[in-house]
Amino acid sequence: MKTITRAFALVAALVLALGLAACGDDEDSASSTGAATSESAATASFPVSVKHKFGTTEVPSEPKRVVVVGYTELDAVLALGVTPVGTRDFLGGYDWRKRPWAKDFPTDIPSIGGQEINYESVAARRPDLIIALNTGMQKADYERLSKIAPTIAQSGDFIDFGMPWDAQLKLIAKALGRDQRADEVITEVKAKFAAAREEHPEFEGKDAILAYGGPDGYGAYASADTRSRFFADLGLKTPAKVDELAGKSFYTEFSQEQFRLMDQDLVVMFGPEKDIEANKVMRRLQALKDDRIVYLDLGDQFSGALGYSSPLSLPWLLDNELDTLQAAIDGDPATKVVQPQ
């Protein structure tokens, strides 16, 4: 089994071969902990119609019991002032309940499943709205969820797992009737990105690659991948060849003959440092010799924040990890890159 390809290309990207089959018993009743939404802050009039890749969903009234079936939309819902009554577990070994960027938000939200959606658990939460953007689901899965409650999926304008954080927030806000709050959050986060670019002009126009690697395979993520968009928002560029190889996917695998594609101004890699640096082809790369590589473990905070790429986690990255990127991109081997923990 290609563990690195699956773990870092698929699980890290929150994509699985999703049959979304129902499994297991409901772990807690709909009346247990996991409070409904916060006091109403909706500014829109209901009903509202929300367009997405599978059609249009009508939300008849302000949702009071929201269930998050996507892997990362929890942050967007919380940022809009709503506490879901159930949420999907984040995969890949990261403890999502200990997200430092969400320490002021509830952490006791009941889980409705991880690798596969537990439909019985979703239904037991008695939702009046299901948010299922970052799922990679097929239309049959959407239709099954829609029988439980009105369900919104990601926009069809983007590849799966490639919808930008602000577009996700606006779509979710429309369903919740909180468009005004979404605009406020987007303005705040974009202002932080603008300040970061001004403070770090060394990022502008440099080539950066978000990759993965280890004993079972190597590859990289396209510019349309949600996480790659973080680097683009800092002024960095994904190599065009990566997008060409990825085609309509969010990532591409590399043969050893293509390893030179990882020789960029900045390299951010999911994978064990010792395994990657033991690869004789990787050792030939100037990026490795110049200490331009940032290594991410799936359980560290940098990896988790990048995985969520949310209006809550992105500001945390800007506040906590830019020095790491700066040390790697300066091209000076004498500048020690302190790897994320």
pTM, rounded to two decimals = 0.88
The tokens for 28 are 């807690």
Contacts of 255 (CB under 8 A, 6+ apart): none
Provide the pairing of β-strand 55-59 with 48-52.
Answer: antiparallel
At 22-42, the pLDDT tens digits run: 233 333 333 332 334 445 577
The distance of Cα 117 from the centroid of its chain, to the nearest Å, equals 18
Strands (E), the chain: 48-52, 55-59, 66-68, 86-87, 129-132, 151-153, 208-214, 217-221, 251-254, 266-270, 293-296
Answer with the residue of higher pLDDT: 32 or 174: 174
Mean per-residue pLDDT over the chain, rounded: 87
Q: In DSSP terms, which residues pair with 295 in a beta bridge? A: 269
Q: In the prediction, which pLDDT does 15 show? A: 34
Q: How many CB atoms lie within 10 A of CB 31?
A: 9
Q: In the prediction, which pLDDT does 72 show? A: 94
User: CA-CA distance, 24 to 118, in Å (whole number)?
Assistant: 7
Task: Report the percent of the chain where pLDDT is more than 70.
Answer: 88
Q: In the prediction, which pLDDT does 39 show? A: 53
Low-confidence winner among 33-37, 96-100, 148-152, 191-195 (lowest mean pLDDT) = 33-37
pLDDT-derived band at 341, boundaries 50, 70, 90: low
pLDDT value at 340 more than 90: no
Contact yes or no for 329/284 (Cβ under 8 A): no
Mean pLDDT of the region 298-320: 96
User: CA-CA distance, 179 to 184, in Å (whole number)?
Assistant: 9
Ramachandran category for residue 239: left, alpha or beta (phi over 0 → left; psi -120 to 50 → alpha): beta
Answer with the residue of higher pLDDT: 38 or 195: 195
Sign for the pseudo-dihedral over CA of 274, 317, 174, 80:
positive
At 39-56, the pLDDT tens digits run: 557 777 899 999 999 999
DSSP for 141-179 reads HHHHHHTTS-EEE--TTS-TT---HHHHHHHHHHHHT-H
At 218-261, the pLDDT tens digits run: 999 999 999 999 999 999 999 999 999 999 999 999 998 999 99
At 94-147, the pLDDT tens digits run: 899 999 999 999 989 999 988 788 899 999 999 999 999 999 899 999 999 999
